[in-house]
Structure 1
Amino acid sequence: MRIPALTAAAALLTSLTLPLSGAAAAAPAGHAPHSARFDQPSTAFAPAGTVLRPGTPGEAGLDPAPIDAFERQMAGWEDPAAGAGYLFPGATTLMAHDGVVVERGAGGYAVKYADATTTLPQDQWIPARTDTIYDLASLSKLFTSIVAMQQLQAGRIDLDTPVAHYIPEFAANGKGGITIRQLLTHTSGFDADPVPSLWQGYPDIASREQAVLDAKPINPPGTTYLYSDLNMLSMQLVLQKVTGRPLDALVRDDITAPLHMTDTGYNPPAAEKSRIAATEYQTSPARGMVWGQVHDENAWALGGVAGHAGVFSTADDLAVLAQTILNGGIYKGHRILSGTSVRLMEQNFNQAFPSDSHGLGFELDQIWYMGGLSGPQTLGHTGFTGTSLVIDPQSRSFVILLSNRVHPSRNTPSTNPPRRAIAEAMAQAMPVSAPGGGPLWHSGQGGNTTSTLTTGPLTAAAKVDVDFSAFVNTESTDLLSVEDSTDGGTTWHALPLTVTGTGAPAGTPAALSGQAVRAWWHVHAEVPQPAGALQLRWRYSTDPVYEGRGVDLAHLSVTAGGRTVPGSCALTPAGAWQQVRATAPLS
């Protein structure tokens, strides 16, 4: 059974291992709560004194319904009886807004299987808990990246200096021009993985590190985006060279110790094994059930400490790291990054590769797992074991999903639906309000659906003006249009739209979409003198893939000659449209 959100929040108060403040703790001096509204994005860091504290969604100004619905979804994804809907044995989740932890839950099992097909006796199953320690897989890259930012601050490395300046042997096989920036943005030209694998082709750690230095690119540097573990393996070697310290010591001394992230690090102690989620039963290499050791074979071959994988952590510890980033690099008085460094992690260095936005180490604006929280500044990463972290500076929110989806086998369905769902729940929980007040219509529908909001038959003897305010937070292929019909609704035609406001599209588009700007737009359309009875409808259609938060409409007005067209106030919603607040006329 999944621990429900409110129960988890209560448990937060008494946890001895939790690095969050107690519920009775007041907001720190100088903390100005950010508006919970999704349509009022922040451009500044959260106050430096912001400290995580438990609270209900209502106390954070959020709607609890989307969060409760997400909890119910998670229970299904953790339930083998769900059939094809079963995604992982267990998971832990955490959601926070403006320093308030509004959801902290766990469900399913951290350990359940003896091998690839056999479950353990049921009395040996270990439930997933809110303090379960998970193998973060590629979320480990974020720790390597933060260490890199620290060395950039210290002047030990430079973004546009070739890696070979720090490690001359790296220049082998045409790599002399690869820069630190290209490692951190995955534009170095490396293949996705070492070939052969480090654990297969080399006898010891020294030869495996040399294999990284000897790796040959498959593309010229700077010409291609290709996500590659070799980038962070190379970054690890640079960091160790310029500091004279191993990566695990750098992460411990400069990140986890200052932030009191006591459950985070490489090669977790054996004494904590009962708290660690098991991963895969591996036969090649013949490791058996991997439990308490890093899942990634190349990281395992490097002794468990690698630039691309190897970090274990809890949702609570990752929450502290996320809030540190929202605070501009500081938490409880301990600064690990300058504000400038955090801004660099939020800056898109991959504008030449539009679908692969990337800061220094962090991925940016990836709707495929960031869902409704995605935006140009939204930072995050995923991990192969079934983990994800999404940090949204504009709403001062973050969401964490940790799972053991590779237990007992990596041959499982994609974890992307729950990754998107937790982000979508947070985005939907934040309210949107009509500019200047008043009711609004909202549609936050799922994929491959269409919703319409239709007037009754209208009679107008002159040109009809259609005006409304729109807040559009959708995937680029999920479109809002305004259509007219003069044959009783048999055929519909999209009207050209004139849009004004921050970030509004130029020209007269036939439909609206976009997540780049969280702003209300004023939209105008015209219908020349109708030839017969006129109907109008607002149509929102999504494709089968991803969605944003959705569409909100306010201040709908249909006029002719400056007067409201009779009958335009009667609207018929179909699909997901729902009116927020009391019924009111169009104009």
Structure 2
Amino acid sequence: MRIPVLALTAASAMVAALALPAGATAATATAAASAAAGADGGGRRFDQPYAGFAPAGTVLRPASPRAAGLDPAPIAAFEEQVDAWADPASGAGYLFPGATSLMVHDGKVVERSAAGYATRYSAPQTELPEDQWTPARTDTIYDLASLSKLFTSLVAVQQLEAGTIRLDSPVADYLPEFAVNGKGAITVRQLLTHTSGLAPDPEPALWQGYPDIPSRVKAILDTAPVNPAGTTYTYSDLNMLTMQLVLEKVTGRSLDTLVREDITRPLHMTDTGYNPPASKLPRIAATEYEATPARGLVHGEVHDENAWAMGGVAGHAGVFSTVDDLAVLAQAILNGGTYRGHRVLSRHGVSLLEENFNQAFPGDSHGLGFELDQIWYMSGLSGPRTMGHTGFTGTSLVIDPESRSFAILLTNRVHATRTTPSTNPARRGIAGALAQAMPVKAPGGGRSWFSGQGGGATSTLTTGPLNASGTVDVDFRSFVNTESTDRLRLEASSDGGATWQPVALQVTGTGAPTGGVTSLSGQAVRAWWRVHAEVPNAASGLELRWRYTTDSVYEGRGVNLGGLRVTDGTHVLIDGDKPDAPLTSAGWRELPAGGGH
């Protein structure tokens, strides 16, 4: 079951005049959004990255993908795939009972929909009577799980700005009892970047080993590190549980009060908070049926057992929210810390979220609280400044400042059991769809080709036999956004395609690899590269091919080629801009001249 809606509700900071009537169809939603957004014009291209914050006055408003300058096809394909992921009949492809998603580009909400069911089961393998199934809606409230860590981190940055804590001060300066068991050197920065040396989780679990909240707090303070501070990256709930205690100590306020008074209330995030009231239960997605501890079907209270043991308010978990509320938060971050005139962070504070403090730990880039550049769920939106987080219940948030875009996916994948496949394909799916929807245009506006294939595939663009003689010069332009192991190569064959040899490439442009290379990959920059290659001692019958190969793990946005030109000093052998150029594509899509996606 799918509910496509393009208009956010007025209560979620959308212009009231653009709200659609209940029961509006996808067609009427698209038409209304297109009419409302038509004057805005197209958005920024993916190969034109922004350097700074969005204008502080940027406010979310609905738009069809086309009205926002995007290709609607990848977005539509993602929505179709979500239907399959939410359908138990998909077998191994079934990922979650229900999901709600939202995509924004340049302030325009280009996708907002729901699929499946917020409540469907009474226990693992046991469905409720069908008339008791609750469809997922665009305003369904989900348990965010570890996305809650972002709220703790935002409060921490607020307190850094207020001067109540210091980034490189020992935690023991604020919590003297934390210094036991060799933790005296652990700093606030190390808690927020998961480099403290603390274990991933409390052992024993807080709900198992301790009778009440005071004893559980003492267990957090008494925990012993498993590595020296600053020597390793270890993602740890204990970091954020400790950060909670620091914040509560220096402010004299509980974490839920800090989040409510300093983040959600100023931003009018009315459906976001800990321990949601019973009045909202009909809109809350159910999670797991738990026999140990004996909680039964968890619905309306936090799923994470350690957060539950802390009364539902914990530094690492416990926040419930909707895609609409999270969209306001994400846009506030893109705006430099403000939304509709309500500032929750300074511009400098936001910069701390996207600054990589973990350069000593390649692959584990981290700002304060926010993960950075994690292709395993950020997919084509990944880059050095891309911020985000995931949650165990099947949630993800990806914010890409370079395109002023973000993607939100909330699911109840642990309903009614946590023994389900990983939600990562869906997380990558939404981020990759938004990235591929943004256009990329070849310099000069001539013919170009795009390959955005899935894992474990190969695309080739091959010339016919060329009447070559002597040294052959090959020039082309490439825009590469791939995982480091997914490579674009130029290869040559002189035996009719029976064997192919790599051709050395000389690359120039922003962030281009230096020296001679035989392949191109990466997501560090969003720029077209100019590529030159030489094939010496060529003879008639020479063939060339551009080969893009992906492994079975992750993919980026893909590869674009343009400006293909092959000469042998006196003759033009291939002019890729001409429609009769002898080129055969397998897996590459030719884009319209002068445009492209």
What band does the TM-score fall into relative to the shorter chain?
over 0.9
* 1:396-420 deviations in Å (ceiling 9; x for gaps): 0000000000000000000000000
**Residue in 1 aligned with 2:2?**
2
**Secondary structure of the equivalent of 2:247?**
helix
Match status 1:228 vs 2:236? yes
Picking from 324, 327, 334, the partner of 2:342 is: 334
Matched, 1:60 2:68: yes
TM-superposed CA distance for 1:443, in Å, is 0.5
CA deviation after TM superposition for structure 1 residue 289, in Å = 0.3
Indicate the residue corresponding to 2:52 in structure 1.
44
CA distance in 1, matches of 2:281, 2:13: 20
Shift, 1:21, TM fit: 2.1
Moved over 6 A (4+): 25-28, 31-34
Distance 2:571 2:17 in 1: 55
> What is the match of residue 499 of structure 2?
491
* 2:14 is aligned with 1:20: yes
Partner SS state of residue 2, structure 2: coil
Shift of 1:17: 3.9
1:380 maps to 2:388: yes
The yes-or-no answer on 1:579 pairing with 2:590 is yes
Equivalent residues, number = 575
Match of 2:431 in 1: 423
Structure-1 separation of matches of 2:109 and 2:379:
20
Per the alignment, do residues 484 and 22 of structure 1 end up closer, same or farther by CA in structure 2, a change over 3 Å counting? farther
The answer to whether the Cα contact below 8 Å between 2:503 and 2:534 also exists between their aligned partners in 1 is yes
Contact 1:22 1:54 in 2 (8 A): no
In the alignment, what sits opposite 1:110?
118
Describe the SS at the equivalent of 2:530.
Answer: strand
In structure 1, the partner of 2:479 is 471
Alignment of 1:530-569 (within 5 A): 530-565=538-573, 569=581
The offset of 1:542, in angstroms, is: 0.3
- Per the alignment, residue 357 of structure 2 pairs with 349
- Does residue 105 of structure 2 align to residue 97 of structure 1? yes
Give secondary structure in 2 for the equivalent of 1:528.
strand
- CA RMSD in angstroms comes to 1.8
- 2:24 alignment partner in structure 1: none
Partner of 1:128: 136
Cα pair 1:232 1:308 within 8 Å, conserved: yes
Tell me the equivalent position of 1:261: 269
Contact 1:34/1:98 (CA < 8 Å) preserved in 2? Answer: no
CA contact (8 A) 2:198 2:225 kept: yes
Q: What is the rounded CA distance, in whole Å, between the counterparts of 1:189 and 1:233 in structure 2?
A: 14
Q: Deviations over 1:74-114 (max 9, x none)?
A: 00001111111111110100000011000000011101111
Mapped to 2, the partners of 1:291 and 1:318 lie a distance apart of 21
SS of the counterpart of 2:466? coil
Say whether residues 1:240 and 2:252 are aligned partners.
no
Give the Cα separation in 2 of the matches to 1:448 and 1:374.
20
Give 1:280's aligned residue: 288
Secondary structure of the residue aligned to 2:220 is helix
Equivalent in 475, 490, 494 of residue 482 of structure 1: 490
1:252 equivalent in alignment to 2:260: yes
Shift in Å, 1:532: 4.8
Is the 1:23–1:55 contact (alpha carbons within 8 Å) kept by the matching residues of 2? Answer: no
Query: Partner of 1:451 in structure 2?
Result: 459
After TM superposition, give the deviation of residue 16 of structure 1 in Å. 5.5
Aligned mates of 2:574, 2:376 — CA distance in 1: 44
**Range 107-116 or range 326-335, more displaced:** 107-116
Shift of 1:308: 0.1
Contact kept, 8 Å, 2:42 with 2:70, in 1: the verdict is no
What's the CA shift for 1:459?
1.6
The whole-number CA distance in structure 2 between the counterparts of 1:503 and 1:583 is 25
Deviation at 1:530, TM superposition (A): 1.2
Report deviation, 1:115.
Answer: 1.5
Answer yes or no: is the 8 Å Cα contact 1:33–1:98 preserved in 2: no
Give 2:528's match in structure 1, choosing from 490, 515, 520: 520
Distance 2:539 2:42 in 1: 50
> Is the contact made by 1:362 and 1:379 (CA closer than 8 Å) also made in structure 2?
yes
Inter-partner Cα distance in structure 2 for 1:478 and 1:141: 32
State the alpha-carbon separation in 2 of the partners of residues 530 and 540 from structure 1: 23
* Mapping 1:336-415, distance limit 5 Å: 336-415=344-423
Q: Does residue 570 of the first structure (1) align with residue 582 of the second (2)? A: yes
* C-alpha displacement of 1:563: 2.9
Q: CA deviation at 1:3?
A: 1.8
Pairwise mapping of residues 500-515 of structure 1 onto structure 2 (< 5 A)?
500-515=508-523
- Measured in 1, the distance between the counterparts of 2:325 and 2:575 equals 57
Contact persistence 1:190–1:231 (CA under 8 A): yes
Could you report, residue by residue, the CA deviation over 1:415-469 in whole angstroms, capped at 9, with x for unpaired residues?
0000000000000000000113222111011100001000000122221000000
1:286 alignment partner, SS class: coil
Partner secondary structure for residue 77 of structure 2: helix
Paired letter, 1:193? D
Structure 2 residue matching 1:59: 3-state secondary structure? coil
Letter in 1 for 2:528: W
Following superposition, the deviation at residue 18 of structure 1 comes to 3.1
In the aligned structure 1, how far is the partner of 2:64 from the partner of 2:40? 18
Q: Is the CA contact (8 Å cut-off) linking 1:109 and 1:125 kept in structure 2? A: yes
**TM-score between both structures, scaled by the size of structure 1:** 0.96
Q: Does structure 2 conserve the Cα–Cα contact (< 8 Å) formed by 1:22 and 1:53?
A: no
Instruction: Output the TM-score relative to the length of structure 2.
Output: 0.94
CA–CA distance in structure 2, aligned partners of residues 145 and 49 of structure 1: 24
Is residue 71 of structure 2 the alignment partner of residue 77 of structure 1?
Answer: no
* In 2, Cα distance between equivalents of 1:582 and 1:337: 44
Question: SS at the partner of 1:503?
Answer: coil
Distance 1:510 1:546 in 2: 21
The amino acid that maps onto 1:86 is Y
Partner SS for 2:12 = coil
The alignment partner of 1:60 has SS state of coil
Structure 1 distance, partners of 2:237, 2:250, is 20
Q: 1:204 aligns with which of 208, 212, 218?
A: 212
Q: Determine the C-alpha separation between the residues in 1 that align with 2:125 and 2:381.
A: 37
Native 8 Å contact 1:23 1:54 kept in 2: no
Q: Provide the rounded CA distance (Å) in 2 between the counterparts of 1:34 and 1:337.
A: 29
1:20 Cα shift? 1.8
C-alpha separation in 2, matches of 1:123 and 1:583: 53
Residue by residue, what CA displacement relative to the aligned partner does 1:7-31 show, whole Å, maximum 9, x if unpaired? x11xx26x45433224659999xx9
Unaligned runs of 5+ in 2: 20-32
In structure 1, list runs of 5 or more residues that go unmatched. none
